[in-house]
Amino acid sequence: MTIILGLESSCDETAAALVTHDGRILAHRLATQEEAHRPYGGVVPEIAARAHVEMLTPLVEAAFADAGLQLADVDAIAATAGPGLIGGVMVGLVTGKALAHAAGKPLVAVNHLEGHALSPRLSDPTLQFPYMLLLVSGGHCQLLLVKGVGNYARLATTIDDAAGEAFDKTAKLLGLGYPGGPAVEEAASRGNPKAVPLPRPLLGTSEPHFSFAGLKSAVMRAAQSGQHTVEDIAASFQQAVIDCLVDRARRQLVAYPDVTAFVVAGGVAANQAIRGALETLAASQGLRFVAPPLWLCTDNAAMIAWAGAERFSLGLTDALDFAARPRWPLDPDAQAARGAGVKA
């Protein structure tokens, strides 16, 4: 049996987990920094990095205690090495390197996005390559053809904001606070999704990409007009996002009929209305729908340990001088999408 320790620290969650090569989660610990960032309405990188320093070692110790294991029992140490807030990424990666060096175990430097991309294979071991992945998080909104471990074709990305970013900004505009996604979903559950006419950017165009900036501006105008309730705006916003995600994904599912499943991952995949709409889309294409449980969708260390296990089983380990990467696209060959400030 192979046991991998995973460390995550790329944004505002600090986490440690122990996972086996056959997908058993022996322990997973997570500390969220929500309270520390709430007064600022978003993640403050300096505060995040400091909190990761304080939290990571106790979480690693707690995970080992939960599993009744010691550092000597693990086969490799997997740490998020990017992309993300560089201060936080460095805390996790340096901790991973120190543990690997001290224990004489190999290091696996994990791309956080690959953690999300492979997480559905942790929750569903029958999921085979190739699958179509909608990766929707705070920093990313992409459709990827997942051909294998480390083998991704990016078919579409956002030309401006990521889907989670749109949720977070909408929450701020509507005074719903931080973190925005769950707050918007909760308000939307009490609103009418047809109440406020909002745009569906890029829908029906020949372009494969996503765009959410115009939607956010329309939400701002709707909020300022004083004609709508917060619940109705939230519900209408969420419906517009759903329509865009479904339209863009359908197009790729039609173009790649040989995929084994339609898979969704990333923090926004925790949204029940979005999951429901994507499940309906998969069914309409005669495809299996796979979405990890909610806690595995948002940032966590089990997905990093699992990506580490997948890479380790293929002999993919990294040198201890591996440098943290603030940007690290899954598909290095992807063409830049139209527009400046494109998220990798």
* Partner that binds at residue 298, options Zn ion, ligand KG4, none, CB closer than 5 to 8 Å by kind: ligand KG4
Q: In terms of CB distance, is 48 or 218 closer to Zn ion?
A: 48
Q: How far is CA 35 from CA 10, 16, 26, 174, in A?
A: 17, 20, 28, 20
* Partner that binds at residue 318, options Zn ion, ligand KG4, none, CB closer than 5 to 8 Å by kind: none
Q: In terms of CB distance, is 110 or 290 closer to Zn ion?
A: 110
* Partner that binds at residue 60, options ligand KG4, Zn ion, none, CB closer than 5 to 8 Å by kind: none
Binding site for ligand KG4 (CB under 6 A): 11, 137-139, 164-165, 167-168, 179-182, 185, 266-268, 270-271, 298-299
Residue 243 in tokens: 């329509």
Q: Burial, 313: exposed, middle or buried (Cβ in 10 Å; 0-12, 13-18, 19+)? A: middle
Cβ 114 vs Cβ 306: under 8 Å: no
Q: In terms of CB distance, is 202 or 242 closer to ligand KG4?
A: 242
* Partner that binds at residue 179, options Zn ion, ligand KG4, none, CB closer than 5 to 8 Å by kind: ligand KG4
* Residue 323 DSSP symbol: P
Q: In terms of CB distance, is 80 or 236 closer to Zn ion?
A: 80
Q: How far is CA 210 from CA 206, 238, 298, in A?
A: 12, 15, 21
CB of 299 to Zn ion, least distance (A): 4
Q: In terms of CB distance, is 111 or 271 closer to ligand KG4?
A: 271
* Partner that binds at residue 271, options ligand KG4, Zn ion, none, CB closer than 5 to 8 Å by kind: ligand KG4
CB of 66 to Zn ion, least distance (A): 23
> Residues near 149 by Cβ (< 8 Å), separated by ≥ 6?
114, 118, 310, 311, 314, 316
Helix (H, G, I), strand (E, B) or coil at 272: helix
